[in-house]
Structure 1
Amino acid sequence: MQLTPKINQILTHLEKIQSFNAQDSMDDTRKYLETMSFQLSGKREAVAMIEELNIPHESHQIPIRIYRPKGKVRQEEPAIIYIHGGWFIAGGFETHDAVVRKLANKTKATVIFVDYRLAPEHPFPAGLNDCIDTVKWIIENSASLGIDKNRIGIIGDSAGGALATAVSTQIGEQLKFQVLIYPAADNQFNTQSWKTYENGPVLNKQGGIEAWKHYLPEQEFNNPLAIPILIKDFKNTPRTLVLLAEHDPLVDDGKTLAENMKNANISVTTSFYKDMVHGFMHMGEILDEVQTAIDEMAEFASQNFETVRAN
């Protein structure tokens, strides 16, 4: 494994991160991701407005954060729903704030971030249900949100990529595109990339096994809505862009998922980020590739938004 000086700099920094006042191992994991994101994501761009709402539900509320881009040009804007990663057990508003701000400004779309329920407190399918219910709510309330319901896409990274894939198989006919950033597509850990990167960088096999145990009840072990690699029917899946990182244990799972979609006649574009590691989107302070990926996703979104408008 040949890592670049910048990646080695990042890995050295990660080794020194200590979670502040962690209460237990789960709290430590969550605070570690927050600290990493805060220290390595770089400057947070100004956006026109940020709003926080709670979507009412039968037994709970689903928090969302709405990012309005700078330079709003029309009354009804396109929208992107963002589903965050964190092995299904961590992540939230602050861990992905820098990335979402960049996306909003570059795409000129309103980006809606879903703070879905996390395992182990809320195992599958709680988080997935929150994501599906949020998409439906956004479509139903698009007029009051100032959103064009005919121009909505979805983006998910890592565990969020698995959730986005499942959302798209259920209600993807209402979405114009999806972007999957190094998606967590399988829970078997038996690929060549998992053998190569079993102990990192960034992710490790033991941590992944524990996270999936927290997330997935035993009776759901073969549920394709939890494990995207098992999906056979992609009938509702919109045009898809898959971003993969070279030194990522998830890279082979992501390749297989993209290939499965292609075999189901879904329009899929795969983009391979050489030298990158899992989670590189949180490392904009050091890596230029973060902006390259933002630019690529914005171009993909624009093409699909424009295609819809032309129709």
Structure 2
Amino acid sequence: MKIKNHPKLKKLAFKAQKIIIKRIVNLPKPILQKIAGKPITIDGQTFDLSLQVLLKLFGPPPNQVASVAATRAMMNTQSALLAQPDNKDIITDEFTLDVSGGDNIRLRRYRHRNAGKNNQPALVFYHGGGYVGGSLESHDLVCQQLASDGNCTVIAVDYRRTPEHSFPTPVNDGLAAFHYIVNNADKFGVDANRLAVGGDSAGGNLAAVVAQQTKGDTHPPKLQLLWVPWVDMSRERESYELFATGFFLERSKMRWFTEYYIDDEADKTNPMASPIFGEVKGVAPAVILVAGFDPLRDEGIAYADKLKEAGVETELKVYETLPHLFPLFAGEIEDAKVAFDDATRALRGL
């Protein structure tokens, strides 16, 4: 056994890294400004000072695209660094769902220990990661806190990812999971009439697709909660150029994700891949949370506009100081905490 790969040493190293990062982001503002240098202002928006310091001290070189394995490992290990702490009041358990090709996927349920067996409102959650990375583990702390602060059950879907499973397999898994939860609401202890769908980035893409594809069901979603949603694979809007490099998610990485996920160029305008091309009239009310420093900023705003034009009740919030990954930063970054509170407030209305 290599010492550096020993699980206990890895755990200790992670704890040390988390402590260091927490201390850095909570330094007095004058010290942070001295470390950061000139504030970063683009398109009238000024980047969060603490995150600017972290990127300066620990950020990777621009346009660095890691391997699939490294991308997945990085998300799983680093996603908890700025997230909320483990919530001991939330109990988790898992269910298995058979899907196409003889495979199965996991559904992880998050529920407050005092919830009992009463049917609760629930969020069906799809994690981000460009359909390449992300997992139940990468978003575990996020889901714990959503269940706690949102006063609901959260059911996270471990859909299959590309390159092993490209479009439309992840979408089909997401739809199968939603239908399974609706049809087995008693088993999950949830109310089929009070279900939301939600997720970040690729998960926001999947949630938006599920909302469209199930709007005519007997039990459609009552809310779609879309963080930094990836809704258009056919084009790059101005925000792709404005925030091409240097803010956690880069244009080169988005292109890499798209190449893996979409095998047929024609599918880039398929509503199942790019929900901005779908029919949205009659879909569930939406809360769309967009980051200012994000290649996906403009398409998230465009999707909110499309929903509003179709008469869909839509709340759009743009957090101008934050980058794409802010749903994972709500443990330490103040504006990310505000955004998380906005999301859980919507869930409490189910």
* Correspondent of 1:49 among 85, 91, 106: 91
Matched with 1:197 is 243
Distance 2:294 2:60 in 1: 21
* Correspondent of 1:138 among 181, 184, 189: 181
Q: Which amino acid aligns with 1:224?
A: P
Q: Contact between 2:228 and 2:296, CA under 8 Å: does it hold in 1?
A: yes
Distance 2:229 2:308 in 1: 16
Percent of paired sites with the same residue: 28
Matched with 1:221 is 268
Distance 1:78 1:42 in 2: 22
Distance 2:277 2:222 in 1: 23
Alignment partner of 1:260 is 2:306: yes
Distance 1:190 1:48 in 2: 40
The equivalences for 1:1-311 within 5 A come to 1-2=40-41, 3-12=47-56, 14-15=58-59, 25-58=67-100, 59-72=102-115, 75-173=118-216, 174-218=220-264, 219-231=266-278, 233-303=279-349, 305=350
SS in 2 for 1:38: coil
| CA deviation string 1:150-207 (max 9, x = no partner) | 1111111101111111111111351110111010112245312111111131111111
Aligned length: 297
* 1:95–1:12 distance in 2 versus 1, CA, 3 Å: farther
Q: Contact between 1:153 and 1:177, CA under 8 Å: does it hold in 2?
A: yes
Distance 1:264 1:240 in 2: 12
Q: Contact between 2:234 and 2:269, CA under 8 Å: does it hold in 1?
A: no
Question: Deviation at 1:281?
Answer: 1.4
Indicate the larger mover: 75-84 or 199-208.
199-208
Q: Contact between 1:170 and 1:236, CA under 8 Å: does it hold in 2?
A: no
The gaps in structure 2 that reach 5 residues or longer are 1-39, 42-46
| CA deviation string 1:125-163 (max 9, x = no partner) | 100001100010001111122111111111111011111
Question: Deviation at 1:11?
Answer: 1.8
Question: Deviation at 1:4?
Answer: 2.9
* 1:12–1:36 distance in 2 versus 1, CA, 3 Å: farther
Indicate the larger mover: 140-149 or 111-120.
140-149
Distance 1:74 1:42 in 2: 26
SS in 1 for 2:225: strand
Q: Contact between 2:117 and 2:189, CA under 8 Å: does it hold in 1?
A: no
Distance 2:132 2:83 in 1: 20
Distance 2:133 2:94 in 1: 19
* 1:157–1:34 distance in 2 versus 1, CA, 3 Å: same
Question: Deviation at 1:70?
Answer: 4.3
Question: Deviation at 1:33?
Answer: 1.3
Distance 1:14 1:261 in 2: 39
| CA deviation string 1:241-274 (max 9, x = no partner) | 0001111111101000111111111111101112
Question: Deviation at 1:229?
Answer: 2.3
Distance 1:82 1:258 in 2: 20
Q: Contact between 2:282 and 2:312, CA under 8 Å: does it hold in 1?
A: no
Q: Contact between 2:84 and 2:142, CA under 8 Å: does it hold in 1?
A: no
Indicate the larger mover: 287-296 or 108-117.
287-296
Distance 1:265 1:53 in 2: 37
Question: Deviation at 1:217?
Answer: 1.5
Distance 1:184 1:240 in 2: 15
Q: State the Cα RMSD in Å.
A: 1.9
Q: Contact between 1:76 and 1:147, CA under 8 Å: does it hold in 2?
A: yes
Distance 2:58 2:330 in 1: 14
Distance 1:79 1:42 in 2: 20
